[in-house]
Structure 1
Amino acid sequence: MAAPPMFFLLATLAVGAGLGMLIAQNPVSSALWLVLNLFCIAGLYLTLNASFIGVIQILIYAGAIMVLFLFVIMLLNLSALPELEQIDWARVGAFMVGLVLLSQLLYVVALEFSLGVEPVAAMEAADAGSAATLGKLLFTRYALHVEVAGILLLAATVGAVLLAQRRFE
């Protein structure tokens, strides 16, 4: 079975791409690191038998949202931003050690309260991740959440257009 090794490989690549996105000096290369991260996350969904969500991850996030990000980067004229200071690797290391300690603490707490995740059969996961099941949930149980997310995205788009328009005047 190749799913667990592929899952951990894609998870490691996703973390590495996330770090590359944070460390990159150029905003366009940072956006490209984010595209790699989004593709790795889509691969993680595919290894978990959630094929619909994996394909939507590629189409929506790695496609449409990243094009929007690149347009915003081009509109904002990021060459006028001040230079960032050098990375303090001691702080980065301390942050990573803190994350490791926090994950160990959460693992111990999860074991103490029996909060472990139980594995799901492949057929159940494929059925729960199908387009019909997700559509039914989105339009019934989570309809308000989807509408609020749409309103927030609309407000963010209007704000970005107003900010870009102010810079060109």
Structure 2
Amino acid sequence: MITIIFYILAAITLGTGLLTVLSKNPVHSAVYMIICFFSISGHFLMLNALFLAVVNIVVYAGAIIVLLLFTLMLMNLSEQHEPKKKIISRIAAAVSACLMGVVLFAALLKSVPVIETYKSVGTDFQSVAVIGQVLLDEYFLPFEFASILLITAMIGAVLISKREKKA
């Protein structure tokens, strides 16, 4: 039963991920991305990582998608303003994507597991206290860089949305 649920969630995740990239309407892409995030949260639930599942829903499916939709509505993107891409750039993009897929597949084939046996240390790694301790001890600098990046993006969004007064 658990295998069937995994395959269903995997199919939903891959399908909505593809639809996110291939959809021409940005709002539809955002909706597909929300569904993809929820299915990824289902994978976290299957791994018994309840905290990650809830954080994924609250942060990504909640806050990030609202910010994305706000930006899309603010910029008023439509197909009339977007010029058509030349055929050579489409071919170059397809070739680049295929080469990247080959590189990723080769890396997957060459990879070996680092840990072959697991030791039980008696610590509950799913608790919020342990996750917070790891974030603020080992990953403090990347955590702060992410916060600076988000503040910079917010300031940029405000500056983009600010319209100049006509004199």
TM > 0.5 fold call: yes
Counterpart residue number, 1:64: 63
Between the aligned partners of 1:86 and 1:44, the Cα distance in structure 2 is 39
TM-score with structure 2 length normalisation?
A: 0.78
The alignment status of 1:49 with 2:22, answered yes or no, reads no
> Does the 8 Å contact 1:22/1:30 carry over to 2?
yes
Deviation per CA, 1:23-48: give whole Å up to 9, x if none: 11111111101111111111111112
Between the aligned partners of 1:120 and 1:16, the Cα distance in structure 2 is 34
Q: Which amino acid aligns with 2:18?
A: L
Counterpart residue number, 1:82: 82
- Compare the two structures and name the one with the higher helix fraction: 1
| Map 1:1-169 → 2, pairs under 5 A | 2=2, 4-79=3-78, 81-82=81-82, 84=84, 95=97, 99=101, 101-110=102-111, 114-115=112-113, 127-166=124-163
Paired residue secondary structure (1:57): helix
Query: What CA RMSD, in Å, does the superposition of the two structures yield over aligned residues?
Result: 3.3
Between the aligned partners of 2:165 and 2:83, the Cα distance in structure 1 is 22
> Does the 8 Å contact 1:128/1:134 carry over to 2?
yes
Paired residue secondary structure (1:127): coil
> Does the 8 Å contact 1:17/1:34 carry over to 2?
yes
Superposition misfits of 4+ residues, deviation over 2 angstroms: 4-9, 83-89, 91-99, 101-108, 114-121, 166-169
TM-score with structure 1 length normalisation?
A: 0.77
Are residues 86 and 42 of structure 1, via their aligned partners in 2, closer, same or farther at CA, if it must alter by over 3 Å?
A: farther
Deviation per CA, 1:112-155: give whole Å up to 9, x if none: xx33665869x98x922221211111122222221111111000
Determine which structure has greater relative contact order: mean sequence separation of CA pairs < 8 Å that are 6+ residues apart, divided by chain length. Answer: 1
> Does the 8 Å contact 1:50/1:129 carry over to 2?
yes
Q: Which amino acid aligns with 2:143?
A: V
Identity %: 35
